[in-house]
């Protein structure tokens, strides 16, 4: 049973379908592992054991009757603490929302339940999802699988830790500026950022609704494909026969290669060479529209974030971690006219980008320019916190600003990932390309 904890969600589903794995025993194995893990309170904010066992029991009965609801029916997963779950605290890692208990599940949790997935509970996250580091002294900071003294990446920090430490088959996170991809990269997982607007945000605590996206953190590309289908109530992308033959990649040169530190750059360069060796064409490109879009990040993100949360924040600012409070407040003085103009300009820049990369299957870049920073140093030095947080999210933010579907894959260098940026609403094609890249990189 211990081996079950490290199997992919797809393999667990196939084992259930073949009668080799009992969903109830599987759920019990995960719940026992969670309870026994020394960091379980730092990873899970709530464990929904009663729900998990009931859902697993029902999945087992369906399996015996030959009436499984889908390929992941009976597979246990975790949910970031910003997805509403009926009767269970959903506080988005913030003391401002302490005691918030919704009366219904988020739409994506409903869809996953209808596909037979088993809800293990809710995972810790950065405060109101507004940090890429995963540091949260208000609630808990989950561990990083590669460095006990480092932060795990955020804001889907507990989602990543739940999978990396064998306490969930898949974690459901969210990504507004990199919050699925940074913790995935730093914990050697595969992460999918979906296109904004593709997956329902109903019942999801917002940060910046125009950028917020739902996405899985998983062990492999197949699990991301299966999980996306479950979240949408659709059919998973067909990954059979995926190959890099005739695949064209663009390697972005401006912005994303600046100040990349030694290990992340080594991992990225090695990964690019392995993609080439597997038959892919890789061409370097410059995209000036990315440079310009980056200058507008402040107004686009912080204006919406403060507009969403400002009133609640100012009623109890003492409840917030000071750097997060400061980041929210940085959006309060922008003019509405400038915010509208920035969005209009961003739409034009997105059109420029889409035209530039139209002939490529994906655009490559390092997932993060840095390794996971030291937790104690982040708490001690405010300047270090600010620079590391902004640098951590810089590359991932390209995908959000340009409105793309994006995946991060492990490079083989611990805590170093490579991003494949696909087309808007192009997840199915991106997943096929990523599956072929995964095979080349592994």
Active site residues: 80, 155, 179
Helices of type H across 237-302: 262-277, 288-295, 297
Beta strand extents in 64-109 (DSSP E only): 76-80
**Which tokens go with 438?**
């995964």
Q: Which residues pair with 216 in a beta bridge?
A: 172
Across 164-198, b (16+ Cβ under 10 Å) vs e yields: bbbbbbbbbbbbbbbbbbbbbbbbbbbbbbbbbeb
Eight-state DSSP code of residue 300: I
CB 422 within 8 A of CB 430: yes
Q: Is 334 left (phi over 0), alpha (psi -120 to 50) or beta?
A: beta
What DSSP string runs through 320-388?
S-HHHHHHHHTTTTS-HHHHHHHHHHHHHHHHHHHHHTTT-SEEEEES-SSPPPBHHHHHH-HHHHHHH
* 255 within 8 A of 285, measured Cβ to Cβ: no
Q: Which residue in this structure is represented by tokens 């310009």?
A: 292
Give the chain's radius of gyration (CA, Å).
Answer: 20
Distance between CA atoms of 213 and 199, rounded to whole angstroms?
7
Q: Closest by alpha carbon to 305, among 405, 98, 155?
A: 155
And the tokens for 196? 């904004």
């Amino acid at each position: 049973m211990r081996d079950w904890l490290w199997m992919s969600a797809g393999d667990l589903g196939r084992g259930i379908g073949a009668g080799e794995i009992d969903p109830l025993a599987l759920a019990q194995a995960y719940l026992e592992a969670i309870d026994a893990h020394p960091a379980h309170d730092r990873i899970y904010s709530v464990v929904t054991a009663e729900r998990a066992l009931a859902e697993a029991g029902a999945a087992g009965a369906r399996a015996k009757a030959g009436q499984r609801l889908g390929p992941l029916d009976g597979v246990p997963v975790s949910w970031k603490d910003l997805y509403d779950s009926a009767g269970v605290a959903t506080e988005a890692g913030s003391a401002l929302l302490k005691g918030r208990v919704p009366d219904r599940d988020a739409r994506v949790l409903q869809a996953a339940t209808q596909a037979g997935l088993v809800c293990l509970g809710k995972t810790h996250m950065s405060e109101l999802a507004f940090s890429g580091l995963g540091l949260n002294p208000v609630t808990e900071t989950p561990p990083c699988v590669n460095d006990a003294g480092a932060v795990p990446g955020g804001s889907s920090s507990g989602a990543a830790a739940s999978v990396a430490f064998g306490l969930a088959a898949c974690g459901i996170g969210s990504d507004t500026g990199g919050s699925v991809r940074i913790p995935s990269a730093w914990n050697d997982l595969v992460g999918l950022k979906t296109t904004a607007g593709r997956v329902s945000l109903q019942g999801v605590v917002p940060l910046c609704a125009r950028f917020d996206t739902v996405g899985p953190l998983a062990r492999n590309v197949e699990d991301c494909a299966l999980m996306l289908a479950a979240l949408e109530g659709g059919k998973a992308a067909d990954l059979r026969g995926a190959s890099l033959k005739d695949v064209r990649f663009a390697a972005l040169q401006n912005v994303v290669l600046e100040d990349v530190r030694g290990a992340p750059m080594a991992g990225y360069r090695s990964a690019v060479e392995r993609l080439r060796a597997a038959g892919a064409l890789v061409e370097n490109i410059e995209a000036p529209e990315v440079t310009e879009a980056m200058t507008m990040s402040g107004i686009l993100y912080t204006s919406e974030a403060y507009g969403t949360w400002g009133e609640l924040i100012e009623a109890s600012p003492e409840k917030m971690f000071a750097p997060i409070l400061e980041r929210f407040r940085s959006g309060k003085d922008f003019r509405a006219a400038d915010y509208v103009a920035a969005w209009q300009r961003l739409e034009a820049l997105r059109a420029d980008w889409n035209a530039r990369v139209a002939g490529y299957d994906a655009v490559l870049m390092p997932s993060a320019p840095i390794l996971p920073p030291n937790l104690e140093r982040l708490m001690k030095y405010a300047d270090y916190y600010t620079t590391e947080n902004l640098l951590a999210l810089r590359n991932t933010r390209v995908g959000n600003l340009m409105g793309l579907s994006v995946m991060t894959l492990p490079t083989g260098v611990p805590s170093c990932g490579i991003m494949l940026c696909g087309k808007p609403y192009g997840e199915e094609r991106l997943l096929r390309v990523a599956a072929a890249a995964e095979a080349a990189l592994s």
